[in-house]
Amino acid sequence: MKSYLKGLVSLWTVLFMVFTVNAQEFCQYNAGQQVGTVGGYDHELWKETNNGGACMELKADAAFSCSWGGGIKNTLARRGKKYNETQRHQDIGTFSASFNCNYNPSSNGASYLGIYGWTYDANLSEPLVEYYIIENTGPNYIPPSDGDPGEEVSWKGTVSDNGSVYDIYTKKRINKPSIKKNPDTFIQYWSVRRNQRSSGTVNITKHFNAWESLNMQLGNMYDVNLVVEGYQSSGWADFSSASLTVSGSSGGGGGNNGTLSGVYRLRNLWANKYLNGGGTSAWQPVLNAPFNNSWGSQKWEVEHVNGNIYRLKSQWGGYYLNGNGSSPGQDVNTGPYNANWTSQQWALEKISGNRYRIKCVWGNYYLNGSNTNWTVVNTVPLNNNWTSQQWVLEQTTSNRKVEEVATTISIFPNPVSDVINVVGLTDEDSHVRIMDINGRTLRTIILSANNSTINVADLSAGLYIFSVERKDSVESLKFVKK
C-alpha cells in the first residue's frame, strides 16, 4: 500500500488531489466510515472527526494494510465477520484468529492491534458491549485507562491464551460514538495481553467464555474483527497474513464423554428470555424472565442421571424443575427432590453447540418458552420449527459460598490420585458435589452407604471442595487431587 500518511506534507497534498486508487484501496478524510465485503470478509474504515486522514488496503483472506496521521482524533481499520444481532457467540461457533503483522505506531498518542467487535441485546442490564482483545499497543500507552467522570476502569480477573496472561477489565463509556448512535452510553470489555506480540493465534471464544464467567454478559453478535486503532497518533500497519475462523459450534461445558456438569443459565432462543424458577417454598411456577446477573433463580445446576437424562436444580431454594406429563400445555414448577419422579427428569437433546431441546421424561413433552416476561413456562409436543423449544445453556458460576464446615463424613485417601472413599454416609441418598476452590460445580453424583466411592482421576492437580447435601444439612471439606 502507498504510504500516503507518512508525513503531514504528503497528507495535506493528498487532501487536495483527485485521488484515484484500486477498488480495494481507499482513504477517509472526513468523519464517517467506508464499509464493504470482499473475499468473504467484511471491512470498515471509520474515522471520528474531520481532522487528519486514514487509508486502508485489502489483501488476501482477512489481511489488510492501513495508515493514519495528520492530527487525527480516532480511527479504526477492521476486517472480519458481521452478523445480524440474532445469535450469541455460542450459537454461531468457536472463534479464533491467526495473524502476522508489521505494526508501526508512533510514540505519541495511543494505538491498538488485536481483536475487536460489538454485541447487543436490549434485554441485558448492559445492552451494548464494545469489546477488545489487545495483542499489541503503541510504545507509551497500555489500555484501558480512566476517562471522563463515570468512565473508570475496573479490573475483573485474568485469562491465559496462547502463551500469555491477559488482564480483564471493564470500562463504562458515556456520550461516546457507538454502532447504534452518537453520542451513546455503553460498556467496554477488555482482555489485554501482558506479553505483547504482532503475530500469533488468538482463541477468541476463550476470552468470551472468560468474560461471561465473570458475569460480563455478552449479547447477540454484531461483528468480530482483526483491528488496528489509532487515537491522537500516527502510524501504519501491514498484515502479511490474517485469517478469522469460525469452526463448528462452541461445546457446552464439561464432563466426561460429553456429559454436562456444573451450573447454567437457560436462555430461550425465542426473544432471549431466561428460565427463572425456584423459591423459598416448593411448587412455585417457573417463568420467562429478563437476564439478571445476581439472581440464583436463573441459575440451574445439572445433575446427571444417565445417558442424556438430567435433573435441573434451582440455585434459589434448591428445588427441582418439575414437569407435568399428563397432557400438553401444562405449566412447569419446582419441587423437592424425588428419585422416582420422571417429572423431574429431563432429556437434553443437543441441536448444535450449546443449543438443546429439553424433554420431560414424563409424557415426552418439550420445555416451551415465551417472548413475554413473567409468563409461565409449559411443556408441549415437539415442533422442529419453534425456537420457543430451543434453549441455549450458558455456563456460569454458583451462588453458593464455599466454606469448609464441621462434618460427620470423612474421605480417604487425601491427597487422592483416582478414587475417593466416603465414610459416614447413610442409606438415604445424598447429593455429592465436587467444586473448585471458587465454588464452580464440576460434578454432581448421588451416593449412599451402599454406593460410597467417586472417581476423580480426570481432575487436574489442585485443591477442591467435596460437599454432601442431605435434606436438612450441607457438609463440606477440602481435598487435594495429586
Give the chain as a 3 state SS string: CCCCCCCHHHHHHHHCCCCCCCCCEEEECCCEEEEEEECCEEEEEEECCCCCEEEEEECCCCCEEEEEECCCCEEEEEEEEECCCCCCHHHHCEEEEEEEEEEEECCCCEEEEEEEEEEECCCCCCCEEEEEEEEEECCCCCCCCCCCCCCCEEEEEEEEECCEEEEEEEEEEEEECCCCCCCEEEEEEEEEECCCCCEEEECHHHHHHHHHHCCCCCCEEEEEEEEEEEECCCEEEEEEEEEEEEECCCCCCCCHHHCCCEEEEEEECCCCCEEECCCCCCCEECEEECCCCCCHHHCEEEEEEECCEEEEEECCCCCEEECCCCCCCEECEEECCCCCCHHHCEEEEEEECCEEEEEECCCCCEEECCCCCCCECEEECCCCCCHHHCEEEEEECCCCCCCCCCCCCEEECCCECCEEEEECCCCCCEEEEEEECCCCEEEEEEEECCECEEECCCCCCEEEEEEEEECCEEEEEEEEEC
48, 126, 229, 469: the active-site residue = 229
Beta carbons of 43 and 37 less than 8 angstroms apart: yes
Omega before residue 336 within 30° of 0, cis: no
Residue 338 grid coordinates: 424425588
Q: 173 vs 117, 130, 147, 177, 180, CA distance in Å?
A: 15, 9, 8, 9, 13
What whole-number distance in Å separates Cα of residue 297 and Cα of residue 275? Answer: 8
State the burial class of residue 302 (Cβ atoms within 10 Å of its Cβ: 0-12, 13-18, 19+): buried
Whether 229 is catalytic: yes
Select which of 130, 135, 212, 394 is catalytic: 130
Enumerate residues 6+ apart whose C-beta is below 8 A from 306. Answer: none
Task: Give me the active site residues, please.
Answer: 130, 229
